[in-house]
Chains A and B, each alone.
Chain A
Amino acid sequence: MKTLVAHISGLKKHYGKRRALDGLDLKIPGGAVVGLVGENGAGKTTTMGIMAGLIRADLGTVNLFDDGPYDPMRHKGRLTLLPQDAHFHPHARVANILVSCAQLQGLSRSEAVTAVHETLEWVNLSDRADSPVRTLSHGMVRRLTVAQAFLGKPELILLDEPTSGLDPLQVVQVRDLVRKRHDNQAILVSSHILTEIEAVCDEVAFVKDGRTTKQESLTSITRQQKLMTYRIERGPDLSLGKIRDLLPDASIELNPEGTLLVVKVTGEALLSPVEINRLIIPVLLETGCGILEVSTGSNLEQEYLNSFDMPHKQ
């Protein structure tokens, strides 16, 4: 079992009368990419702010690196943050900002210059090193803010809405940057865009009204081993009874149009998706069905909506 770089329990925070966190729990294993998913005001930004020492919790414990709550002097350089809606000074120059950040993280001047050079190459901003921030496009500024979070060798990186306000192409760019850069560092990513979380995360935590409702691995949440969906053209002799006989521990459902066959494996005796296919596909073919698509598991969006009993379309 991997050691935890962050263990948060019972975190509570009020802003005046408004309750932002109401006993939030979170575990971040070393080297894992954990997604923090929740609607606006669910407490994602407050959680990251508390973890980074920018916000004071009312109650609860934050244990980082098995060494208590975050202290910028004691844990120098071990945690970084991409804050949401934060702006650099418009007149500051790209390289100067990053060198200062790196030096404040404890790197020497020469180490900082080297780290900044590498990081700017990574985010494709090398040619803008001497440019003032005000001359950069929105996407470039976002890449710069992502870059500052990856300076040095932090063990835990907090990314608060890293693709917020970006166009689709820029979203893909930033997502790829995070995926490529991930080098045994633990990353906590918050985002509204669930496909983005699904693309980069190993674990997902659902947050609602300041509480964690679920934290599991992505494969577990999306039931990769327990759910099979067949998109079919219904054949004349299709009989669900025959399939149910083959899979007594599964729930078999066909939508009213007869185009989607959903197999949910319940019980302890798990069959792998390959084994389920071996049983079901021959029956479908025998009964004259056309198989258009076979997919495993659900997707994060559906599971997120399911977890809060919200309606969704298939």
Chain B
Amino acid sequence: MKLSLKDVFIVWKYEWFDLYRSRLAIFWLSLYLLGALSSSLFFIMVIGGIENKIAQETNLSETKKAGAMTSSLQESRQFREIVTQLVGDAELARQFMTAPLIALFFGWMSLTFAPFLVILLSSESVSSDISSGAARFSLFRTSRLAYVLGKGASQATLVLAGIVLSALITWLVGMFRLSSFKAESAAWYLLIYSLRSWIYTLPFLGLGLAVSQVIKSVQLSRAVGIVIFFATVIFYRIADQFSAEGFARIWELLIIVLPQGHRLDFWRPDLMSQVSAVSFSLGLAFLYFMAGYYLFSRKDI
């Protein structure tokens, strides 16, 4: 298996520009932008409602801008419940009491929705070239591995750009719509959560690319990508439900090979959890991608 990094770069560059020329990148980035804008505005509206409720209960005057009562809010039971629900762990929730609200919400949103967008985007990336025959202009010029890696890298770049853009929009919304907004702290947390979200999406990118390397039809490839995405969600839920002591620990094996099994570790602040989450996500991305590549490398184009 020979690989030329120069060829990977050439394919990446061509693909990246092609995503822009085809307006596909603009479409996806707009989707991230609109998603971030609407969800952060909605979140601020909800926060404002909770703050006002607290104000009424404590006989304080209501505020026009959300966030003024953040410190009070973060100690409130409702808020704790929201955060606990977001991260799915009461212990963990306590660690997040100090993180900016809007950054927490961004982290949850991007960890929840970005993988689906990634599957939608990547599951047709190679199959569209195979079905149109465009791949046949490249695959006698470079190795199949360099070709699919270049395409995967361009998709990963687009996803990173989308997540960072979403973080920027969220930060701007917080800046203008939240009072007591700690700009520097929020920027730092948004950046950290952006990177974590991006790494978390990589196994899904690997899954999407695997599907698109195996299936020639664009529509079928996309449909299978979506089915596999929801299958991972369902299998994770089942495995999480049945995992227990004794023989039931076998379900933990399934949790390990599913991307969702490492999601919680991305929230944990300690280094070991972060290293574990990043390592498993990169490992799974590689595993899924290579499973698809194994079949692609033997495929007649």
A73, A105, A148 — most chain B CB neighbours (10 Å) = A73
Which of B18, B23, B139 is A89 in contact with, Cβ under 8 Å? B18
Q: How large is the interface on A (under 10, 10 to 19, 20 to 34, 35 or more residues)?
A: 35 or more
What is the minimal beta-carbon distance from A145 to any residue of chain B, in angstroms? Answer: 8
| Chain B residues with CB under 8 A of A83 | 133, 136-137
Contact with A along B1-37 (1 / 0, CB 8 A): 0101001001101100110011100000000000000
Q: Say if the beta carbon of A59 comes within 8 Å of chain B.
A: no
In the assembled complex, the Cα of A53 lies from the Cα of B14 at a distance in Å of 22
* Residue contact B21 to A91, C-beta cutoff 8 Å: yes
Interface-located stretch among A23-31, A95-103, A114-122, A230-238:
A95-103
Which of B17, B22, B136, B141 is A96 in contact with, Cβ under 8 Å? B17
| Chain A residues with CB under 8 A of B139 | 53-54, 72
Within 8 A of B (CB), among A21-69: 49, 52-56
* Residue contact B10 to A89, C-beta cutoff 8 Å: no
Closest residue to A15 on the B side, CB-wise? Answer: B300
* Residue contact B10 to A54, C-beta cutoff 8 Å: no
Q: Say if the beta carbon of B138 comes within 8 Å of chain A.
A: yes
| Chain A residues with CB under 8 A of B137 | 83, 86, 88, 97, 101, 145, 148
| Chain B residues with CB under 8 A of A85 | 133
Q: Say if the beta carbon of A132 comes within 8 Å of chain B.
A: yes
Which of A56, A79, A87 is B298 in contact with, Cβ under 8 Å? A56
Q: With A100-B14, A101-B137, A103-B10 in contact, is A55–B300 under 8 Å at CB?
A: yes
* Residue contact A86 to B132, C-beta cutoff 8 Å: yes
In the assembled complex, the Cα of A52 lies from the Cα of B133 at a distance in Å of 14
| Chain A residues with CB under 8 A of B132 | 86-87, 89
Q: Say if the beta carbon of B175 comes within 8 Å of chain A.
A: no
Q: Say if the beta carbon of B140 comes within 8 Å of chain A.
A: yes
Q: Is the interface of A mostly helix, strand, loop or mixed?
A: loop
Q: How large is the interface on B (under 10, 10 to 19, 20 to 34, 35 or more residues)?
A: 20 to 34
Q: With A72-B141, A88-B134, A88-B137 in contact, is A104–B21 under 8 Å at CB?
A: no
What is the minimal beta-carbon distance from B5 to any residue of chain A, in angstroms? Answer: 12
In the assembled complex, the Cα of A294 lies from the Cα of B14 at a distance in Å of 57
- Once A and B bind, how many residue pairs between them come within 8 Å at the CB atom? 84
Q: With A85-B133, A87-B132, A91-B18 in contact, is A101–B138 under 8 Å at CB?
A: yes
Q: Say if the beta carbon of A206 comes within 8 Å of chain B.
A: no
In the assembled complex, the Cα of A93 lies from the Cα of B22 at a distance in Å of 11
Q: Say if the beta carbon of B142 comes within 8 Å of chain A.
A: yes
Which of A55, A96, A103 is B301 in contact with, Cβ under 8 Å? A55
Q: Say if the beta carbon of B143 comes within 8 Å of chain A.
A: yes
* Residue contact B301 to A49, C-beta cutoff 8 Å: yes
What is the minimal beta-carbon distance from B137 to any residue of chain A, in angstroms? Answer: 6
In the assembled complex, the Cα of A87 lies from the Cα of B17 at a distance in Å of 18
* Residue contact B14 to A72, C-beta cutoff 8 Å: no
Question: Can you list 23 contacts pairing A with B, beta carbon distance less than 8 Å?
Answer: A54-B139, A54-B140, A54-B301, A55-B300, A72-B141, A72-B143, A73-B2, A73-B4, A77-B141, A80-B140, A83-B136, A83-B137, A87-B132, A87-B134, A88-B134, A88-B137, A89-B134, A90-B22, A91-B18, A96-B17, A101-B138, A101-B141, A103-B10
Binding site for A on B (CB under 8 A): 2, 4, 7, 10-11, 13-14, 17-18, 21-23, 132-134, 136-143, 298, 300-301
Binding site for B on A (CB under 8 A): 15, 49, 52-56, 70-74, 76-77, 79-81, 83, 85-93, 96-97, 100-101, 103-105, 132, 145, 148
